Each structure stands twice: as structure tokens, then as C-alpha cells.
Chains A and B, each alone.
Chain A
Amino acid sequence: MARVPSIIWAVALVVVLAALPAIVPRYWIYFAGILGINIIAVHGLNIMTGYTGLLSLGHAAFVGVGAYTVALAQSKLGVPFYLAIPLAGLVAAIMGIAFGLPSLRIRGLYLVIATLAAQFLLNFVFVHWQSVTNGDAGLTVLPATIFGYPLNTETRAYYLILACDIALTVFAINVIRSRVGRAFIAVRERDRTAEVLGVRIVWYKFVAFALGSFYAGVAGGLLAYFNQFVNPEQFGLVLSVFFLSAVIVGGMGSTLGAILGAVFMTLLPEFLRGGGLAIGTAFGFDIAAILVPLRETIFGLLIVGFLILEPRGLAQLWKRAQQKFLTTPATIPITLIGKQGDNR
């Protein structure tokens, strides 16, 4: 129905995003880069948790695996970025499978525990495998280069991230509207019914977990190039909570939701900081000191609040707003249509 307009919208959005560095200040571009990376990671978690119902509390660790893969592949093997990024995804996917496989066979809590174990174990490796990861001090990463042209400014790296975002978003949309995506949702909603219809449950859990971890790894790889630095602190439990809240706030099982959630959650701390500093100055106390715990509190509040009040997240609010302003056939009350169908 709304096919053609949505493609036009998408093209317009890409044009605006491509022109962004010419329009907005430099600091914003740094921000847009981080946002783009977060979107990829959230897509990954959304595929696992949102679409397939596999809760992961260790997503940040898989992002970390991707980042370290890039740092090491570059410094030890001299791998160029166009190979290093897919490699980062691949290594993260393999790690994901290694941690997920034993518990994917069983339902319930076990996968949650396995991902939590991944979070702590991988972080432990980042910190303590000194000879490879250089411990807490971390590793430096040289910027990505295309044909000798270094992506050494935020603007240049931004374009790399933008390209990856477009590619991976399209990929995610394509997977979801295919046989594979339908199987994901079926596994999430009613796994036994899915099985009767011929869906191999364990296989699709496995595919979703590997794919989600792949996205995490790519996000981590891009992050390494973007920050030109990798250390364990970046990939703690708080980041996993951050990704989880982005998926929930955006709307689980919606690709648009993943993007909205990532945008919202990335911008929120900035607004908090801006607003907090303003209030702090006005009332004369130092709000900067409590920003980190404030973030943690608000992430938690958003998770709980959205799950209770609007489990389908911002994507649903967006849809509702759209229906309010655009009169589409979908706004005709369902009962009416049902009756017409019955009476024929």
C-alpha cells in the first residue's frame, strides 16, 4: 500500500544523512558516528531478543570481541578494514555460538545465564590476557584506509559507518520479511506450533544467535576504528543493559523500533547531561558527579516502564501517531471488516 512513499522517504533520509556533515557542527558528527554504531549493535540484539525471544545479557561482550578482533587483526596481521570488519562479525558470531550452543537446546533461564557468563568471562579475558589485549591500558587502532586514503577524521569515518548502517539495516529487513524471519517470530511466539509447521526450532535459535552476535561484532569493529582505541571498560555490563533498554524502548521485534530505540537511548544521556548541567548551574550543585548512576537509573526505569506500559515500544507509538495523521485503510475498525467478510 504505502510501498512507494516509504522508499522515497528512505532515499530522502539517506540523502539527508549523507549531507549531514555539511550541515551540522563537528561534535554532532562524532555523535552520529556513535549512534550509527549503536544502531548496528541494537539491530543484532533485536534479532536475538526482539524477534526470536532469546534474551541476551552479554551483548556488550560480543561487541567487545569485534573491537578486539579489529585491533588485533590490524596490529598483528595487518588486515585491511574491509576484511577486518566482516572478520570481527565472524569471530563474534563464533563466540556467540560457543556460549549459546549448550543452552539453545533448552528453554528458559539457561541462555540468560550463559550470556551473563559470556559478559563476565569475555571481559575477564579482555582485562587479564595481558600479552594480547594489553589489559586495562587497552590497544590503539589505526584509522581504516581505503586505497591509501585514511578515514582519520570523524566525518570520513562517519561515512563508513553510514554505509554499514544502510547495508545492515537492509539486510535485517530482508531477513525478517523472509522465511527465516517468519521462523524467528514463530519460535518466539509458540515454539511447539512452529515445530509442527516444520520449523526446526534449535536451528533457528542458533541462526538468530549467530546473526545477532555477528551484528554485535561488526558494531565493535567499527567502534574500534572510530575511537582508534579499545579497552575493556567500554564493554561492561552497563553497555549490555544499555542495548537491552534500547531494544525494549524501541519496541521488541521491530526493525524500525531498533533504530528508534538506539536513537533515543543514545541521545538521552546527552539531554540528561545538557539539562542536568543547566539545572545544576541554576541551583548551584554539581550534577556531573551523579550523571553515571543517573543514567543507570533511567535505563532501568525505561526498561521497567516500557515493559509494563508499552511493550511494543516507540515503534508502536510511532505507528499510532502515523495512523492518527494519515488516513490509511488500516484505520478502519477491524470489527467492521470482519463483518463484511463474514456476510459475503
Chain B
Amino acid sequence: MNPIIVFAEYSAVGIAAGGIYALIALGTVVIFKSSQTFNFAMGEMMMLSAYFFYTAAVIFDFGLLPGFILALVGSIAVALLIERFALRPMLGRPFIAIVMVTFGIGSIIRGLVSMVWGPTDLQSPAILARTPVMIGSLFIPGKTARAFAVAVVIVGGLIAFLRYSRAGIALRAAAADQITAYSMGIDVRRVIAFTWVIAAITGCISGVLMANVNSLTPNLGLVALNVLSVIILGGMNSIGGVLVAGLIIGWLESVTGFLLGTEFREITPYVLALLILLVRPTGLFGTAEIERI
């Protein structure tokens, strides 16, 4: 086959896969914006959601939609529990202590899931059709293409929500200046909890999609550590930036896999992250932090 076509195909598949990354990144960024907390447990929250969905839809056989709703409720509950009992006591503590707490939470969830559901791969129910999508002569696997479509809809919806809803405005106010927001009558704690709910929603959707495209294992969340490099690439202050970065990472993984061999896929985001650190530490779209004494 024509190598250019093959390359284009890999590119399209990669960008499509990047849609899920963008979704995960969005969840991470909103938490960071509200409370300067970098949530290293995002991947595990996402993985846990996928297990919730599996449990409700397959083990208890509630059907796909009720199963998904139950998974969503469960994910939100877990996120709120984490925020209330692990992060809120850490308010005002050093940045690295908070990072370590979220890292520890990730470890807890990974271990618990392995104990409850076992370490082996599970087959998530098919929610996305397998029939491939053709763009011109480009062949894109059905699940990947549809997952991308779902991610686009969700991301678009969330951005509109953040821009126009009262809650979204409160979030932006809190992100700009917590103390001023507080004095304006915005309950910053509720805003923070609210961002955890958003993260739970994006995590749940991306987890269910990811488990559908790949398979369901306790290590599903580790894939989302790639999102960390996405976040750096995008710069933590810019939602638009991380979305673009998500797509770029997806594209790069796919193309590197094609050009160098699949084993290089897993390290692509980290190589890229290191390169960006060397060249442009504030990321592509972020702004430098101005320090005051």
C-alpha cells in the first residue's frame, strides 16, 4: 500500500485516540485550576469507573445505559470522598505533599481493584460499533472513531458549560484568585468539590471508552499517566492548550508506533515531555508564573 496513505491512516487513528487523552486532561486541569492540586489518581479514577460500569452492566446485567449511569454515580461518589477525606485535610500544605497524597490514592485504588476484580483482563461490553469508518480512502477502526466522536461531544459540552453556567464562572473566579472569589461570596470549597465531580465525569466516560477500545485491566489507569505529559505540553493554565496537546500526543504515539515499532509507543509522551521541559518549560500555551514575596 502507498506509504503516505498508511502514514495518514496512522495519523488519523492517533488523533482519534488522542480524543480520550484530551478528555482525561480536561478533568485534571479543572481540578488544578480550582485548587492547584495535580491529581495523580486521575488514571485510577478512570480505571475504577470502567470497573463500575463492567460490574453494573455485565455482572449485574442492568443493561448498558443504567449500567453507565450507575458507574457515573459511583465515580462521582468516589471522587467526592477523595476530595473530602484526603484532599481537604491537606489544604494549605506543601505542594509536593498534596501530589504525594494523590499518588498514594492511585496506589490504593489500583491495589483494591486488583483484589476485588482480579488482575486479569476483562472483556468490557461492546458499546461502540466495530464497523470501520472511512474518511476518503482512510480506514479508521470503528471503536476508535466513535470514541473520538463521543469525546468531542463531551469536551464541547463541558467547555460550553464552564463558559456559560454560574458554576463555570465561579470556577474561573476561584481559579483567578481564591481569596477575592471567597470574599465575593463564592464558596471555594464547593467549587473545588465541583471540579472533582467534573473530573469524575470525564474520568468515567474516558474509562468506559478506553476499556472498550482496549481491554479492562487494573493497569488501565497507568496509560493515563501519559496524560501528565499532555498536561505539561499544554501548560496547566490553558484548557484549549491541553485539548490540543491531547490530540498531539495521541497522534505522536500512533505515528511513532508505525515508524519505530509499537514498543516505542509507551515512551513517546515522556520523551516529548522531557524535550518540552528543555525547550519551553511553561508549555505551549501556558503562562509563566509570576512570583511574589
Q: Which residues of A contact B (CB under 8 A)?
A: 49, 53, 55, 57, 99, 102-103, 105-110, 112-114, 116-117, 120-121, 124, 128, 192, 237, 241, 244-245, 248, 290, 292-304, 307-308, 311
**21 A-B contacts, Cβ less than 8 Å apart?**
A53-B94, A107-B289, A110-B281, A112-B38, A116-B225, A117-B270, A117-B273, A120-B270, A124-B267, A192-B293, A241-B107, A293-B112, A295-B111, A296-B114, A297-B115, A299-B111, A303-B100, A303-B101, A303-B103, A307-B90, A307-B93
Roughly how many angstroms separate A142 CA and B98 CA in the complex, as a whole number? 43
List of B residues within 8 angstroms of A103 by Cβ = 277, 281
Closest to A304 in B: B104
- The reply to whether A121 and B267 form a contact with Cβ atoms under 8 Å apart is yes
B177 at the interface (CB under 8 A from A): no
Residue interface bits B98-126, CB-to-A below 8 A is 1, else 0: 01110111111111111100010000000
Please pick, from B105, B236, B271, the residue contacting A300 in the complex, using a CB distance under 8 A.
B105
B179 at the interface (CB under 8 A from A): no
Closest to A119 in B: B270
B187 at the interface (CB under 8 A from A): no
The 5 lowest CB-CB distance pairs between A and B, nearest first, are: A297-B111, A300-B107, A303-B104, A293-B114, A296-B111
List of B residues within 8 angstroms of A302 by Cβ = 104
Q: In the assembled complex, how far is the CB of residue B32 from the closest CB belonging to chain A, in whole angstroms?
A: 9
- The reply to whether A303 and B94 form a contact with Cβ atoms under 8 Å apart is no
Roughly how many angstroms separate A294 CA and B95 CA in the complex, as a whole number? 28
Roughly how many angstroms separate A248 CA and B96 CA in the complex, as a whole number? 12
List of B residues within 8 angstroms of A113 by Cβ = 228-229, 232, 273, 277
Closest to A247 in B: B100
Q: In the assembled complex, how far is the CB of residue A25 from the closest CB belonging to chain B, in whole angstroms?
A: 31
- The reply to whether B229 and A117 form a contact with Cβ atoms under 8 Å apart is yes
Q: Which residues of B contact A (CB under 8 A)?
A: 38, 86, 89-90, 93-97, 99-101, 103-115, 119, 218, 222, 225, 228-229, 232, 236, 263, 266-267, 270-271, 273-274, 277-278, 281, 289, 291, 293
- The reply to whether A109 and B277 form a contact with Cβ atoms under 8 Å apart is no
List of B residues within 8 angstroms of A49 by Cβ = 96
Roughly how many angstroms separate A112 CA and B95 CA in the complex, as a whole number? 11
List of B residues within 8 angstroms of A297 by Cβ = 107-108, 110-112, 115
Q: A103-B281, A114-B277, A116-B225 are in contact. Are A293 and B267 (CB under 8 A)?
A: no
List of B residues within 8 angstroms of A107 by Cβ = 289
List of A residues within 8 angstroms of B97 by Cβ = 307, 311
- The reply to whether A290 and B99 form a contact with Cβ atoms under 8 Å apart is no
Please pick, from A110, A293, A300, A311, the residue contacting B232 in the complex, using a CB distance under 8 A.
A110
List of B residues within 8 angstroms of A301 by Cβ = 104, 108
- The reply to whether A116 and B107 form a contact with Cβ atoms under 8 Å apart is no
List of B residues within 8 angstroms of A299 by Cβ = 104, 107, 111
- The reply to whether B111 and A293 form a contact with Cβ atoms under 8 Å apart is yes
- The reply to whether A99 and B274 form a contact with Cβ atoms under 8 Å apart is yes
Roughly how many angstroms separate A121 CA and B273 CA in the complex, as a whole number? 11
List of B residues within 8 angstroms of A102 by Cβ = 274, 277-278, 281
List of B residues within 8 angstroms of A298 by Cβ = 111
Roughly how many angstroms separate A294 CA and B112 CA in the complex, as a whole number? 7
- The reply to whether A248 and B100 form a contact with Cβ atoms under 8 Å apart is yes
Of A103, A109, A248, A300, the most chain B CB neighbours within 10 A belong to A300
Roughly how many angstroms separate A4 CA and B36 CA in the complex, as a whole number? 47
Of B90, B106, B274, B289, the most chain A CB neighbours within 10 A belong to B274
Roughly how many angstroms separate A116 CA and B40 CA in the complex, as a whole number? 11
- The reply to whether B218 and A300 form a contact with Cβ atoms under 8 Å apart is no
- The reply to whether A112 and B99 form a contact with Cβ atoms under 8 Å apart is yes
Q: In the assembled complex, how far is the CB of residue B264 from the closest CB belonging to chain A, in whole angstroms?
A: 8
Closest to A291 in B: B115
- The reply to whether A294 and B115 form a contact with Cβ atoms under 8 Å apart is yes
- The reply to whether B103 and A244 form a contact with Cβ atoms under 8 Å apart is yes
- The reply to whether B101 and A307 form a contact with Cβ atoms under 8 Å apart is yes
Q: In the assembled complex, how far is the CB of residue A237 from the closest CB belonging to chain B, in whole angstroms?
A: 8
List of A residues within 8 angstroms of B236 by Cβ = 109
Of A110, A113, A124, the most chain B CB neighbours within 10 A belong to A113
Roughly how many angstroms separate A132 CA and B113 CA in the complex, as a whole number? 36
Roughly how many angstroms separate A304 CA and B98 CA in the complex, as a whole number? 9
Of A102, A237, A296, A298, the most chain B CB neighbours within 10 A belong to A296
- The reply to whether A116 and B101 form a contact with Cβ atoms under 8 Å apart is no
- The reply to whether B274 and A55 form a contact with Cβ atoms under 8 Å apart is no
Q: In the assembled complex, how far is the CB of residue B281 from the closest CB belonging to chain A, in whole angstroms?
A: 5
